[in-house]
Amino acid sequence: MPLFGLTHALTLIVLVTSGTICIYAGRRGCLWPRALLAFICLSVFPINQLALSTLDFDIPLNNIIPFQLCDLAALTAGFGLLTRKPLLCELTYCWGLAGTMQGLIFPNLGFNFPEPMFWTFFLQHGVIVIVALYLPLALNWKPRAGVVPRILLWNQIYFLSAMALNGALGTNFGFLAEKPEVSSPLDHLGDWPVYLFWLQIIAVIVMTLLLLPFRRTINIWRSS
């Protein structure tokens, strides 16, 4: 799919419109957006596997094992909506807006409209970002005090786990083994492993900025 082409732009417009409708309905007390978004989040991975089954080449382990950050974010988003567990909502908000949104802007996608993988890619990434915005804007969710170091700790847990799996299985979870094939911001961060260092620094900055709107009601750095 051509990056920033007509198809890409129209797809983003559809997602923005869908998200706006869900948030508006949620703010008015409608229950269907929460139920629908949770259902999509928890079913998007098996839907993706069905789409993969239509392809006639060997599927990389990256696509079979649900350990990309967006795979985990879909789970935290779905269960976060259903349970309102604080950690799940915090992870969804930060991973969705700091990580998954990059996938919408710079999709690592070798398929174009209307192929099944096109639909599942944007369905998965789109619903995560919508939920990340739905939590504070429609449900008035707020993170707990000390959210920044807590999220950064979970970032490190994912980072080290993904590195270990990549070394053991030859995968590329989190793009920590190599950069995406398509153009992305990683292209400006140097070669491997230099860009891994910059990823860590950028994650700290971006997630801190995402949580700044809550600083008036909680201490985002300390829990007490």
Helices and strands, number each (H, E), in the chain: 9, 0
pLDDT digits (tens, 9 = 90+) for 2-26: 677 888 899 999 999 999 999 999 9
Token code pair at residue 82: 């259903």
What pLDDT score was predicted for residue 209? Answer: 94
CA angle, 20 as apex, 17 and 26 as ends, to 5°?
140
What pLDDT score was predicted for residue 163? Answer: 94
Task: Please give the average per-residue pLDDT across 17-42, as a whole number.
Answer: 96
Total length of the chain: 224
Q: Please give the backbone phi and psi of residue 15, each rounded to the nearest 5 degrees, phi first.
A: -65, -40
What pLDDT score was predicted for residue 1? Answer: 61
Q: Are 117 and 109 in contact (CB under 8 A)?
A: yes
Q: Are 45 and 128 in contact (CB under 8 A)?
A: no
Token code pair at residue 124: 């998965």
What pLDDT score was predicted for residue 224? Answer: 63
Q: 138: number of CA atoms within 13 Å, CB side? A: 25
Task: Please give the average per-residue pLDDT across 164-181, as a whole number.
Answer: 90
Token code pair at residue 4: 């920033």
pLDDT digits (tens, 9 = 90+) for 83-105: 999 999 999 999 999 989 988 88
